[in-house]
Each structure stands twice: as structure tokens, then as C-alpha cells.
Amino acid sequence: MNFFPLYIFFMGLFCLILIRKHILLCLISLEFLVLSLLLLTLLICLMFDYSFYLYLIMMTFYVCEGALGLSVLVYMIRFHGNDYLMSMFLW
């Protein structure tokens, strides 16, 4: 069994828990989590001979999640002037 997607998942989770200063670093670690889940979905579709519609639906949701995260980042930089996570809670 290939443990590479699980390794990516736990490293992304580890980074998300420990590195919480900038929102961009949180978004990158969330994208690692999404990448590992997408890879796991692909492996499950290949192992059990499922159709790849589930994989395409998951990929669509993950692309929308990434675009939404980037729009929140741009909004936060315009509103606060930086991407520090702690500056959101000062108001």
C-alpha cells in the first residue's frame, strides 16, 4: 500500500496546527490537505474500478475552495493591510 497520500495529509495537518501566523501559510497547508484527499480519491477510484465522476466532482469542489481562500486573502490584505491571522481578531 502506498502511504504517500497519508504522509502528505499528516504533514499538511501538522503545518496547519503549528504555523498559524500568516493566512497564506494556512491556505498552503490546507491545499496540501486537499491534494492528499484528491490523491486518495484517485487511488480509491483506481483500486475499486469506480467511475471517475467522483474524482471530477471532488476536483471541482477543491478548485472552488482554493479560489474562495484566495479571495478571502485578497479581501483581508485590502482591509487590514497585511495577512497576519491575529490582526483579524483585534476589532
SS3 83: coil
CATH number of the domain within which 33 lies: 1.10.287.3510
Alpha helix locations (H) across 1-91?
Answer: 4-18, 23-47, 53-80
Residue type, 79: F
**pLDDT single digits (tens) 18-75:** 887 888 888 888 898 999 999 988 888 888 888 888 889 999 999 999 999 899 888 8
Residues spanned by the domain of 84: 4-90
Number of domains the chain contains:
1
pTM to 2 decimals?
A: 0.79
